Structure 1
Amino acid sequence: MARTNIFEGDSFYAIFARETYKRLVSRKWITYADIMADHLGLSSPKELPCNVSDCEKYGELRKAFRDVVSSIVKEVGDGCIEEQGNNRNKSFRYKGENNNPLAAMINARVVKDLKKYWEFCQDSAGFFPDVWLEYYFADCQDLLSIKTRKKKGEQVISSSIDRHQTNIEYLPMLYESIKNQQVLSIDYKPYDEEMVTLIFHPHYLKEYNGRWHLLGYAEEPEPKEGVDLALDRIANKPREVYKREFVKAPERFYESFFKNRVGVSHHENCSPEEIHIRAHTLYIHRLMETKKLHESQETVLPFEEHEDGCYGEFTVYVEVNNEFIGRILQMGDGLEIVSPQNVRDLFRERVQKMAELYK
């Protein structure tokens, strides 16, 4: 049966077809080896591990290449594809007048992908804070449709995270301020401290455990990058500050800023360190392997029987902040800090204080 759209789907055939078409309409000479190298993420066909004909899925590549060429010829006419070389190393070049001869087929795929995305938005509305939907779908028929489906209980994706945090309605405005590089005046009230008014250059929004944080550059009380403002501690709606040059974040700053942290918080003079953790039950060990504490986590000892009991062990390289402590204590007696000693002592003191509450 003939394919309705050679570009549609995620099969190797469709992937090769899209890569072949992209190469052909560039009007450069191409070979099967060029397409295979693109597919494998190589910079040149010379980097292929073997002859292209011996590469995995070469048969799918030949079918896709043939069908793309055939579709172009059918649309543009004979002579639009130039060939040179022998069958073993033949190359092809497109020379037709139409720069995008299969545009209708490409656009049909795009439209279908957009429809799938729209359906996802409809089904997953319960996953996002209501404020996002109200802001981006305002005065839109889609919002009514989403609400109707939610009322009927027809949504199939949701989240257990509490979405009713104080000041959650500021999220869209803060997002737009970051995108538009708009300086803000923010009244901020930390716990047990006086309210301060900050001239703030917003750079980044981060959610952790149901709580949103705005991070950026604060001019006062001293210029500082990476200042963390918890959304629920903002005292009033942020105000725009005009005629003030926006200070951008240094390149890749927040990538390194969060690299060695679980969550968001940071304690002064706290540096990351390798922490050795023991899991005392198979369930907890498997849970920690499937829901890692941090991207640096590595299993150093599989769960098995030892002379002093059954356990498994892993390491993480992180700062010891509130979120890390909370994640470990959440597992109760299923997890134990083995080293370093200073971190082990910290947890022992925490556990002893907790135990005192239940005497």
Structure 2
Amino acid sequence: MPINKNALIRYQVLDKCFSNFGRKYFREDLLEEVNKVLVELNGPDSGIKRTQFYKDLDFMKSEAGYGIELGDYKEGKRMYYRYTDPNFSIKKHLLSHTEQQTLKEAIRVLSQFQGLPQFEWLNELVPILSDKLAMNDTNRQAILFDSNVDYTGTQYIVPIFNAIHHQTVLGIKYQGFNDPHPYDLELHPYILKQYNNRWFVLGYNDFKNSHTWNLALDRILSIRDLPQKAYHSHNINWEDDYFYDIIGVTRIEDQEVTEVVLEFAASLIPYIRTKPIHPSQREVSVAKNGDTTLSIEVIPNYELERLLRSFGARVKIISPEWLKEKLIEELTASLKQYDEA
């Protein structure tokens, strides 16, 4: 469990007292020192009692804490506390054992980005952190991400991220798959979005007067900062508003949310139930053979059509009719290609 701010303050005060071999700190003295600091920072009634004091000692001694070796020495009927090692201090062990383990796992995740363009800084940082935390190569890899190291847009992630963070307009040379020639545009970047192992940036295109202009990073040819340009800010709620009603990244303007009703084969239903195709997904009916009718409420787009095609014969579109007819036309054209062959 992460250490909260007040707990860390208490541990640091106790550490200072335990390290001071010029004075004997009895329990009452330690409580007074801790509470004096807490009251200064948080006001009256923020001090701790004996019960919390002993809990703090137990945590600091534990493996989950700092593993301190604390001596308790009797003087008359009272007992004072100090480290058994005069040179010890938790300042030399800033992270608890639990926090070290959490950081180690984070480093293992970060290490998977080593070697990717724009992540060269990890090549230096990961070994240093690994050495400081006494990590070694015997640790088995426990997590893998779905990634494509040959993806052509990765080198633009960091520059675009920085431009978003610093609110900098970008000059971009771009060529979409259907564009015969590259063209230049100015983009006020707002958000980076990953979908289906591809990266996209959405932002304001002043030439088109669109706040949600969508560019695929793998179609960007070059990028440069335009610091002299005034940045056009926004108040779009991307996660709960813009992206909620769609699958993927394409939101067609003036297109309304539509109820899409789908019938899935029984063999596919366990996968669809455990990984819904959209947050609005709900079951409408279940046939005796297990085939299940579901509905989702989305703005239809290319990504939805692509997803439905990927299910092949195990899905049937019930409504809307226009979407069903569109996919029938595409499937018919596809079958015709095989007939001609």
TM-score, length-normalised on structure 2?
0.68
- Counterpart amino acid of residue 320 in structure 2: P
- Partner in structure 2 of residue 217 of structure 1: 204
Which of 286, 289, 294 aligns to 2:273? It is 289
- Partner in structure 2 of residue 94 of structure 1: 46
Is 1:252 equivalent to 2:207 in the alignment?
Answer: no
Give the unaligned 5+ runs of structure 2. Answer: 11-26, 37-43, 67-93
Instruction: Map 1:117-266 onto structure 2 (within 5 A).
Output: 117-125=102-110, 128=113, 130-131=115-116, 134-140=119-125, 142=127, 154-193=140-179, 194-220=181-207, 222-236=208-222, 238-253=223-238, 255-266=240-251
Distance in 1 of aligned mates of 2:331 and 2:153: 34
Deviation, structure 1 residue 138: 5.0
Distance in 1 of aligned mates of 2:96 and 2:244: 37
- Counterpart amino acid of residue 297 in structure 1: Q
Distance in 2 of aligned mates of 1:185 and 1:113: 45
- Partner in structure 1 of residue 292 of structure 2: 312
Instruction: Map 1:5-154 onto structure 2 (within 5 A).
Output: 8=1, 75-77=30-32, 93-94=45-46, 111-112=96-97, 114-125=99-110, 128=113, 130-131=115-116, 134-140=119-125, 142=127, 154=140
Give % identity.
Answer: 19
Q: Classify the secondary structure of the residue corresponding to 1:288.
A: helix
- Counterpart amino acid of residue 257 in structure 1: Y
CA 1:209 to 1:144, structure 2 compared with 1: closer, same or farther past 3 Å? same
Q: Figure out how many residues of one structure are paired with residues of the other and give that number.
A: 274
Task: Name whichever of 329-338 and 187-196 sits farther off.
Answer: 187-196
Runs ≥4 residues deviating over 6 A:
78-81, 101-104, 149-153
- Partner in structure 1 of residue 75 of structure 2: none
Q: Classify the secondary structure of the residue corresponding to 1:139.
A: helix
State whether residues 188 and 233 of structure 1, in contact with CA within 8 Å, keep that contact through their aligned partners in structure 2. Answer: yes
Task: Name whichever of 113-122 and 192-201 sits farther off.
Answer: 113-122
State whether residues 275 and 317 of structure 1, in contact with CA within 8 Å, keep that contact through their aligned partners in structure 2. Answer: yes
Q: CA-to-partner distance for each residue in 1:302-339, whole Å, 9 max, x for gaps?
A: 4x40xxx5411111011221211121111111111111
Distance in 2 of aligned mates of 1:321 and 1:129: 35
Q: CA-to-partner distance for each residue in 1:234-261, whole Å, 9 max, x for gaps?
A: 011x111122221112242564221111
Alignment RMSD (CA, Å): 3.9
Q: Classify the secondary structure of the residue corresponding to 1:93.
A: coil
CA 1:268 to 1:312, structure 2 compared with 1: closer, same or farther past 3 Å? same
Is 1:321 equivalent to 2:301 in the alignment?
Answer: yes
CA 1:219 to 1:270, structure 2 compared with 1: closer, same or farther past 3 Å? same
Is 1:353 equivalent to 2:308 in the alignment?
Answer: no
Distance in 2 of aligned mates of 1:144 and 1:341: 57
CA 1:75 to 1:211, structure 2 compared with 1: closer, same or farther past 3 Å? same
Deviation, structure 1 residue 152: 8.4
- Partner in structure 1 of residue 80 of structure 2: none
- Partner in structure 2 of residue 277 of structure 1: 262
Give the unaligned 5+ runs of structure 1. Answer: 1-7, 26-71, 82-91
Deviation, structure 1 residue 158: 1.3
State whether residues 215 and 229 of structure 1, in contact with CA within 8 Å, keep that contact through their aligned partners in structure 2. Answer: yes
CA 1:208 to 1:181, structure 2 compared with 1: closer, same or farther past 3 Å? same
Deviation, structure 1 residue 155: 2.4
Distance in 1 of aligned mates of 2:242 and 2:109: 30
Q: Classify the secondary structure of the residue corresponding to 1:173.
A: helix
Distance in 1 of aligned mates of 2:115 and 2:328: 41
Is 1:330 equivalent to 2:310 in the alignment?
Answer: yes
Distance in 2 of aligned mates of 1:266 and 1:116: 42
Larger radius of gyration: 2
TM-score, length-normalised on structure 1?
0.65
